[in-house]
A and B are shown apart, each in its own frame.
Chain A
Amino acid sequence: MTAGTPPPVLEAMDVSYGYSGPTPTQALDGLSLEIKDSEFVALLGPVGCGKTTLLRIFAGFLRPAKGWVRCGGASIDGPGWQRGYVLQEEAIFPWMTVRENVEFGLLAKSVAPVQRREASDALIELIGLTAFAEAYPKELSTGMSKMVEVVRVLATDPSILLLDEPFGALDAQTRQRMQDALAALWQMRRKTVLFVTHDAEEALYLADRVLVLSPRPGRVKATFTVDLPRPRSFETRFSPELLALKRQIWEAAGLQR
C-alpha cells in the first residue's frame, strides 16, 4: 500500500466459508473484493450464492474459514454500529414504537434523550412517517418497516451500510419508491454501501459498481462500472445505457441462451 492512498473501506481477500451440518455447503470460495470510500456497490447473484454469508462476515457475525476481511484497514471482530447492517429478514423490534426503534442505536451509545429525540424526529421525517412516530410496527406496511430499519441504522451515523435485499419482499411499485427513497438518502448522506440484491435493474439503478457473483460457491464473476448520471430518475430505468448494461450482466450470469 503506497502512502497517501487510504486503504479500501471494505476489503475481502480470498474469503471462503462453509456451513457444516447434515448437508455441508460451501457458500463462498476464494472471494475477493474492495470497496472504496463513499462508493455504492451492489452485489448481484442468484439465490444461495453466498451473498448473505458475505454480508454477515462483513457485519461481524461470521468469521471466514479462509482468507480475511478488513474494514478501514483493521480486522473485523464482532458486530458493531460502525457497519450499519440491515438484515434480510424483518428485524424491526415489534415491541417498540417507530421512534424507539429509530433511537435504539443512540440509546446503546448513551446519547442524551433530547439529542435522541432530535435525531429520530429528523430521520422519521426523512422517510415521511412523522404521523407514525409513536405507532407500533404492527400498524406499518412491510415497505414502511423496512425504511424504519434503514434509518434505525443511519441514526448512529455509521460510515458503512450493509443492506441485505432490503426491498426483496416488496411489490414492484413499492420497491421503486423505496429505491428512490434510498437513493435520495444516499445523495444526502454519503456512505459506503454494500447492497445485496438479485434484481439486476435495482443494482444498476442504485449502484456505482455492480459485482456479479457466480452460483454457489460464490466468487466474483464479473464487475460492471455504472456511469449513469445522478440523480437517477424514472427515465434512467429505461435509458439505453442501463438496458445495455443489464444485457451484459445477464450475459455474464450465463443467461443469454
Chain B
Amino acid sequence: MMTWVRARRAVIGLVGCVTLYVLAAEVGHGRLPERIWLGAHYVENVKLLPTWRALVEEGAFLIESNILVDSIAVSTRRVVLGLLLGSVAGILLGLLTGSASRLEALAEPWVTFFRFTPALALLPLYVVWFGYGESSKVLLIATNVAVITFLGAHQGVRGVPRVYLDAAASLGADGQLRFRKVILPAAFPSIFSSVRVAAGLAWVTIVVAELINAQMPSLGYLLALAGAYPRVPTMLIGLATVGALVLIFDLLALLLHAWATRWMERAA
C-alpha cells in the first residue's frame, strides 16, 4: 500500500516537472536570443530552451540512427560490470575486516584515502595503467563502488548486536554457522543500502569518465558532442537518459534492499 502511494507521488512529481518545462519552453523559446557568445566567437541558431516538438524530433533522430540505443548499451554495460566487480570486492573485504579487528587497522587508512579522493583524480593513473579501453573505465567505477560497499559491509558486521551473537553461541552455533546465519543476515540492511548508494554513484562516475576520453558510442560522448556544437536538444535528451537510467538502477537497488530486509519492521 505504502509503496503505491509513494510511486503515485513520484509519478506526479515527474509529470509536474515535465509540464513546467514544456510550458516554460513554449513561452520562452521565441523570446530568448538565438545568437550566443561562446568563448571566442558567436554561435548562431542556438535553441536555449527547445520546445517539446524540437525534443521529440531530436529524440526520434537519435533513436532511429541507433546512436542513443548503442550509447545506452555501452554505458550500461560499463556500469553493470563496475558495480558487480566493485560490490563483490568491497563486500567481501568489508565482511573480512568487520570480523577481524587486526585487518581493520590495516584497511582503515586506505578506505579513508579512497573515500575522499575524487574518482576523476584517479583517471589519468588508470588510463596509464589500464589503457584507453574498457578496463580503465570499469575499474574506475569498481574502485568507487568498492569503497562504498566496503564501508557498508564493514559497519554492517560491526553493528550486529551482541545479544544475537550471544544467543547463537549459547545455542551451540560454531563460528561458521554464526557467520552464515547471524552475522551475514544482520549485516544485510547496511550492505544493501550501501549498494543502493553505489549504484547511483556508478552513473556519476561513468558519465564523467566518458566525457574525458570521449569515444563513440557512449552517453558521455553524446553529451560531449552536444556540447561541442552546441546542441541543447541533444544535451537535454542525454541528461534525461542518464537520469532515467539512474532512476531505474535506484529502483532495482531499492527492490533488492527491500527483499534483503523483508523481515525488518516497516521502515524507509
Contact = CB atoms under 8 A, between A and B. Distances in A.
A83 interface: yes
Contacts, number: 74
B174 A91 contact: no
Interface in B234-268: 262-266
Give the size range of A's interface with the partner.
20 to 34
B170 A93 contact: no
B171 A153 contact: yes
Contacts of A93: 164, 167-168, 181-182, 185
A85 interface: yes
Q: Is the interface of A mostly helix, strand, loop or mixed?
A: loop
Nearest to A61: B166
A85 B165 CA distance: 12
B18 interface: no
A94 B170 contact: no
Contacts of A107: 173, 177, 181
A191 to B, nearest CB: 15
A100 to B, nearest CB: 8
A213 B169 CA distance: 28
Give the size range of B's interface with the partner.
20 to 34
B167 A95 contact: no
B172 interface: yes
Contacts of B169: 61, 78-79
Contact of A79 (B164, B170, B263): B170
Nearest to B165: A91
B188 interface: yes
A108 B173 contact: yes
28 contacts: A61-B170, A78-B169, A80-B170, A80-B172, A81-B171, A81-B172, A85-B167, A85-B170, A87-B163, A87-B166, A90-B163, A93-B164, A93-B181, A93-B185, A95-B185, A95-B186, A96-B181, A96-B263, A104-B173, A105-B171, A107-B173, A108-B168, A108-B172, A108-B177, A109-B172, A137-B263, A152-B171, A156-B172
